[in-house]
Chain A
Amino acid sequence: MINNTFTRLKMSFVDKYETIEGYINGVLSEEERLRFEEQLAKSDSLRKEVESHRAFAEQLRWYGKRQTLKEQMDLLHQEMTVTTSTPVTTATKTSWKHTWKRHLYTVAVAASVALVTVIGILWNVRNYSSLENKQIGYYQALKKDLDEVIATQRDLVERSEEAKVKALPVPPVNSTATAFAIARQGYLITNYHVVKDARAMFIETKESTPQRWRVEVFHKDKESDLALLKIVDTTFTQFNYLPYSLRTEMAALGEEVFTLAYPRDDMVYGEGAVSSKTGFEGDTIAYQISIPVNPGNSGSPLLDERGHLIGMISGKNTKEEGAAYAIKAKYIQALVDSASVKDEALRTSLPRYNQIQYLKRPKQIEQLQDFVFELKIYAQTFSE
């Protein structure tokens, strides 16, 4: 009996709650609603109960909406960190495939022609490479330039609609250096001294996805020995978000630094420390750093321990061992600033937030490698 009453009592609480909820959500029948409103008019405490119920249910729904939004944002956040680690562009890849298919036949002819001409050219190439003041093995140079000849031939074929390749002379690569991205829109930084005699330049990367783009000088500053390059290929869309930010304040003496460069055909990592706050003969534009560098290192980025860009390698002292020079980031900023008159996009080019600062070195390099390129310089133009 008692038990029974208790159940009925409890049921009535549940019923009341259900009615309140039904009333709030507007799902009561006309008759039920009128009866409830009658009760409401009579009882202050019931009115309060309805209000508190309504407020809490609203609070819950609001929480739900926020929760969904939060989940959505977590996904976006993930996306944001993933996109920075994927290779540069896919658009270029497909269009390259397309061109390849279209020109397969002519390229095949060109390749065979190339093989014949190579024998004649090799002799020259040998002379060139001995002229080049580069510390790469003879075999390496030979192979490198042979590849180069074939690649250039292929390029030429693409340019001329008819495959009149035979008559075209093939200019060899005159020098190589390094260049690195400074803005997503296809801007790169390198040394002025490496590009001053250039007639044609290409940047190449073999990390993650092989890419090759034609670049031109966009802006230069002879005084600080800096040049801003721009990719002029129409197939180029844009780089991924740059992982490094520029650190323009002075680096401290003894600070650990590292660089990524192309003194040979593959990327080379070098590390050392800032050994002086001034460069060659007290030159205030540069730091002296103790990283062993070779020709070809010109234009490679100098980063501090956390991956902030603090300078760019420009040269070394031939009389001193282990003394290389790097132009300070401040001057890179100045160059970019003065070039931003020509393209507004440069104003906000580098991220203020460095995404690689907490990563271990190999991971940092993995993020960086897509933004450092081998720069190939031809002093002769292609005759078309």
Chain B
Amino acid sequence: MYTSRDHTTLKSNHISTKINSMNQAVSYTDEDLVRGIRENDNRMLSVVYKKHFSMIAHFILQNSGTEQEAKDIYQEAIMVFYEKLQEEHFLLTCQIKTFIYSVCRRLWLKRLREKGKYVGKVDDYEAFIVFDETTTDFEEKEKQFSSMAKALDKLGEPCKTIIKDFYLKNLSMQTIAEKMGYTNAANAKNQKYKCFLRLKKIFFQCYDQ
């Protein structure tokens, strides 16, 4: 019984997305988009990105935010959406639009509370889902991400470049040593070790603040 009801809601979601996306040049269903993003198709991500910004901008501007804040929150939500889709067992049980709106809504409420501007209610323009505590790791992730960005900034050169080259760009120590002008890879390794320890320390400082 329960499953069949679920099935019908999914189906109707599907149809309404088709209608919504009619004003795109080519229309994709939510299913197409989800599959595309799972397969790392950048085009699909760009379709999703461009489609929903105006909705979020409207929501945030109407609830005492700025355009820049709208952009930040929106990008955060798109990243959450993208990362969720990379998880093997994640199942999207609502429309993409609803998911993004709900994440943005939650993040924005949190931001408002932090700013001390939360008045107990916001103007809503869309249907939204309420996340339970187990699925709200995206708030934690937002914090981790900004702490890491701050830590890397504080780390300074040449550490920042070495760390980025090795951990993010997967360059070999030999290449890094040549690039940074170290006489040999051992010196570069030495430097990397120091940088790694320092970054770790700064990161946790930033995180705990």
Contacts and interface: CB of A to CB of B under 8 A. Distances in A.
A60 interface: yes
A73 B42 CA distance: 10
Interface stretch (A135-143, A226-234, A340-348): A340-348
Contacts of A80: 50, 53
Interface in B41-66: 42, 45-46, 49-50, 53-55, 57-58, 61
A294 interface: no
A348 B196 contact: no
A64 B196 contact: no
Interface stretch (A12-20, A107-115, A271-279, A329-337): A12-20
Contacts of B145: 63, 66
Contacts of A69: 78-79, 82
Interface in B172-206: 189-190, 193, 196, 199-200, 203
B79 A344 contact: no
Given A60-B168, A69-B82, A76-B50, A348 B20 contact: yes
Interface in B17-53: 19-20, 22-23, 25, 42, 45-46, 49-50, 53
A101 interface: no
A14 B148 contact: no
Contact of B23 (A64, A185, A352): A185
A353 B49 contact: no
B163 interface: yes
Contacts of B55: 352-353
Contact of A64 (B53, B78, B164): B164
Contacts of A358: 67
Task: Please report whether the interface of chain B is mostly helix, strand, loop or mixed according to DSSP.
Answer: helix
B167 A61 contact: yes
A349 interface: yes
Contacts, number: 86
Given A14-B190, A80-B53, A345 B125 contact: no
Nearest to A13: B193
B148 A60 contact: yes
B75 interface: yes
A77 interface: yes
A14 B167 CA distance: 17
Given A66-B145, A73-B78, A76-B46, A353 B168 contact: no
Among the interface residues A56, A60, A349, which one has the most CB atoms of the partner chain B within 10 A? A60
B144 interface: yes
A282 interface: no
A43 interface: no
B194 to A, nearest CB: 9
Contacts of A13: 193
Contacts of B67: 358
B10 interface: no
B180 to A, nearest CB: 17
A74 B71 CA distance: 9
A344 to B, nearest CB: 5
Interface string A350-364: 011100001000000
B50 A353 contact: no
A184 B22 CA distance: 11
B130 interface: no
Given A73-B79, A344-B19, 13 more contacts: A14-B190, A17-B193, A59-B203, A60-B199, A64-B169, A72-B42, A73-B78, A76-B46, A80-B53, A184-B23, A345-B23, A352-B54, A353-B57
Closest 6 CB pairs of A and B: A64-B168, A353-B54, A63-B148, A60-B167, A353-B58, A353-B57
16 contacts: A14-B189, A18-B193, A61-B168, A63-B149, A64-B167, A64-B168, A64-B169, A66-B83, A73-B49, A76-B50, A77-B49, A183-B23, A344-B22, A345-B23, A348-B23, A353-B54
